[in-house]
């Protein structure tokens, strides 16, 4: 009986478990689709928003920066590295031996031609000159006596009171006295010249360099030291010498044959503006075969006091100019498979790809060969070209431009006010400065 009861209890428990299982399974099955639908709904809405944003961005105009096409005169220049030369440098040496008794010059002093710099001990030289003067006086007296004797002998010969032999002998005596006088006079001049060497003067005007002697030192004419007693460097009318490639020699020759000499601007690497101006004055007569260059010189006309002989400088020579040239900012020119082009902004705020041919460039401008469909006042894109295609819609920010003509701003195309693009305005300023230099 107990076994039957236990069996019934087990059967009842099994039925209860099975019922609980069957009762919970339909509830889970109904909840699963609704949860899946709820979880999938946000994902669908996010994807749709993303696609809509992409379509909206593609239709919006591209923000670009533009500048104006100009017509102006652009200088043709060539840059080189040169050095400053003095027109005259003198190494002063003693022309005779002597002891320095007086020094009237100091290092770095500006002297004029003829200024006394040193005086040497001239006691011995003066004594020699005095001796020569005495010898000349003696010879002159002997000559005077001989000439008087010759005059008497000539008179006696005319009166037939003297002989021809006596007259001839006296003539020879006069000539001998004249020769002796000339020899002593020549010696006197030589010794006077030696005496003049005891006073050392400046042969040119200029600046004195290092002095290698002092009072009490013995100087010698045989001294061959590099610096001698001192050097004098002429500081006015300085020159700038520089080498140019032989391929450019025709341009320099053409520039030197004009009515006015080609202008040259001189500056140092740290200068923001030229410190001196010069004029092309010399082209060497041959090409250096080792380097393939020709030496050119320009004479400094203004600002020479800011230069120093031997100083290395940057030189920019103006070889001509492109008159009434059509120019665009250099950054506007793009390179494509078929050549160079620019994006020009149309009246309806779309861009057109315009092919151009660049004839020359400056650090900030491109000089176009012909108008190539561009006119002064047209706008070209200078920033944002990578996002453009032919016909793209754009919104523009104008960047103010500057002329490449030295000394004057460009007026062609007018001035354009910058509209919130500070980077474009900042980039245009250095370009203008480079073109003007």
The domain that contains 237 carries what CATH number?
Answer: 2.40.30.170
In this structure, are 327 and 418 located in the same domain? yes
292 shares its domain with 331 = no
Q: Can you point out the beta strands (E) in 60-176?
A: 62-68, 70-85, 89-92, 98-103, 110-111, 116-120
Same domain, 193 and 204: no
For residue 431, what pLDDT is reported?
Answer: 33
C-alpha dihedral sign at 109, 113, 119, 120: positive
Comparing 392 with 409, the larger pLDDT belongs to: 392
Q: Say which residue the tokens 């042969």 belong to.
A: 203
The answer to whether residues 374 and 254 belong to one domain is no
pLDDT in the model for residue 181: 95
If asked whether residues 335 and 414 sit together in one domain, one would say: yes
The mean pLDDT value for 36-54 works out to 36
Whole-number Å distance between alpha carbons of 66 and 343: 9
Q: What is the pTM of this model?
A: 0.62
Q: Is the pLDDT of residue 49 over 90?
A: no
Q: How confident is the model at residue 14 (pLDDT cuts 50, 70, 90)?
A: low
Q: Are residues 183 and 243 in the same domain?
A: no
Backbone angles phi, psi at 193, to 5 degrees: -65, -40
- Name the residue with higher pLDDT: 418 or 381: 381
Asked if residue 250 belongs to a domain, the reply is yes
pLDDT reading at 38 higher than 50: no
User: What's the pLDDT at 260?
Assistant: 85
In a domain, 353, yes or no: yes
What value does the mean pLDDT take over residues 163-176? 91
Q: Is 22 part of any domain?
A: no
Residue 8: inside a domain, yes or no?
no
Q: 189 and 160: one domain?
A: yes
* Mode of pairing for the β-strands spanning 206-208 and 230-233: antiparallel
Domain count, the chain: 4
Residues 98 and 68 in one domain: no
Same domain flag for 239 and 326: no
Determine, yes or no, domain membership for 50: no
The pLDDT value given to residue 240: 97
Whether residue 305 sits in one domain with residue 355: no
Measure the CA–CA gap between 422 and 107, rounded to whole angstroms.
54
User: What CATH number does residue 192 fall under?
Assistant: 1.10.287
- Token pair 């354009």 is at which residue? 416
Rounded Cα distance, 173 and 67, in Å: 103
> Are 307 and 238 in contact, with CB atoms under 8 Å apart?
yes
Instruction: Give the alpha-carbon dihedral of 104, 105, 109, 110, to 10 degrees.
Output: 60
Is 172 in the same domain as 215?
Answer: no
Same structural domain, 107 and 224: yes
The confidence band for 156, taking pLDDT boundaries of 50, 70 and 90, is: confident
Domain boundary among 266, 297, 320: 320
- Is 1 part of a structural domain of the chain? no
Instruction: Examine the fold and report which residue of 176, 209, 229 is the final residue of a domain before the chain moves on.
Output: 229
Question: Is 25 within the bounds of a domain?
Answer: no
Per-residue pLDDT band at 415 (split at 50, 70, 90): very low
CATH number of domain containing 205: 2.40.50.100
Dist. CA 265–CA 282, nearest whole Å: 16
Least confident of 8-12, 110-114, 180-184, 353-357: 8-12
Contacts of 378 (CB under 8 A, 6+ apart): 68, 69, 344, 345
Confidence of residue 278 (pLDDT cuts 50, 70, 90): very high
Pairing of strands 394-398, 62-68: parallel
Cα 242 off chain centre by: 9
What number is the average pLDDT over the span 246-269? 91
Long-range CB contact pairs, 340-345, < 8 A, 24+: 342/374, 342/380, 342/381, 343/64, 343/380, 343/381, 343/385, 343/388, 344/373, 344/374, 344/378, 344/379, 344/380, 344/381, 345/64, 345/66, 345/378, 345/379, 345/380, 345/381, 345/394, 345/396
| Spatial separation of the C-alpha atoms in residues 130 and 191, rounded to whole Å | 9
Q: Is residue 108 part of a domain?
A: yes
Residue 309: give the domain boundaries.
78-86+233-320
Q: Of 71-80, 126-135, 150-159, 393-402, which range is least confident?
A: 393-402
Which of 229, 250, 279 represents a domain boundary (last residue)? Answer: 229
């Amino acid at each position: 009986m107990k076994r039957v009861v236990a069996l019934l209890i087990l059967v009842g428990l099994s039925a209860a478990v099975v019922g609980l299982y069957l009762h919970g399974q339909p509830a889970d099955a109904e909840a699963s689709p609704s949860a899946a639908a709820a979880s999938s709904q946000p994902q669908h809405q996010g994807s749709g928003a993303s696609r809509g944003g992409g379509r909206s961005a593609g239709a919006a105009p591209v923000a670009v920066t533009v500048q104006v096409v100009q017509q102006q005169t652009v200088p043709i220049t060539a840059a080189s590295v040169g050095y400053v030369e003095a027109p005259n440098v003198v190494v002063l040496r003693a022309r005779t031996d002597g002891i320095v008794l007086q020094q009237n010059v100091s290092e770095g002093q500006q002297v004029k031609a003829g200024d006394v710099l040193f005086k040497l001990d001239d006691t011995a030289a003066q004594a020699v000159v005095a001796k020569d003067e005495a010898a000349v006086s003696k010879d002159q007296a002997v000559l005077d006596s001989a000439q008087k004797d010759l005059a008497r002998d000539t008179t006696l010969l005319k009166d037939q009171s003297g002989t021809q032999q006596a007259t001839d002998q006296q003539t020879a005596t006069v000539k001998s006295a004249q020769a002796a006088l000339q020899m002593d006079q020549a010696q006197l001049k030589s010794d006077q010249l030696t005496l003049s060497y005891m006073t050392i003067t400046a042969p040119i005007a200029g600046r004195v360099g290092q002095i290698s002697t002092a009072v009490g030192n013995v100087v010698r004419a045989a001294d061959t030291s590099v610096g001698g007693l001192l050097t004098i460097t002429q500081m006015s009318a300085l020159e700038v010498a520089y080498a140019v490639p032989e391929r450019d020699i025709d341009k320099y020759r053409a520039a030197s044959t004009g009515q006015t000499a080609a202008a040259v601007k001189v500056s140092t690497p740290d200068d923001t503006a030229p410190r001196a101006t010069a004029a092309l004055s010399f082209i060497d007569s041959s090409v250096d075969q080792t380097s393939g260059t020709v030496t050119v010189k320009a004479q400094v006309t203004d600002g020479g006091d800011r230069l120093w002989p031997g100083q290395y400088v940057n030189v920019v020579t103006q070889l001509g100019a492109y008159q009434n040239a059509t120019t665009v900012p250099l950054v506007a020119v793009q390179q494509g498979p078929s050549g160079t082009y620019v994006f020009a902004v149309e009246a309806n705020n779309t861009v057109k790809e315009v092919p151009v041919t660049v004839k020359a460039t400056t650090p900030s401008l491109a000089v176009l060969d012909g108008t190539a469909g561009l006119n002064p006042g047209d706008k070209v894109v200078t920033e944002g070209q990578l996002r453009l295609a032919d016909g793209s819609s754009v919104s523009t920010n104008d960047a103010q431009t500057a002329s490449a003509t030295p000394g004057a701003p460009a007026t062609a195309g007018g001035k354009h006010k910058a509209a919130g693009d500070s980077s474009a305005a900042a980039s245009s300023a250095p370009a203008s400065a480079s073109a003007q230099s």
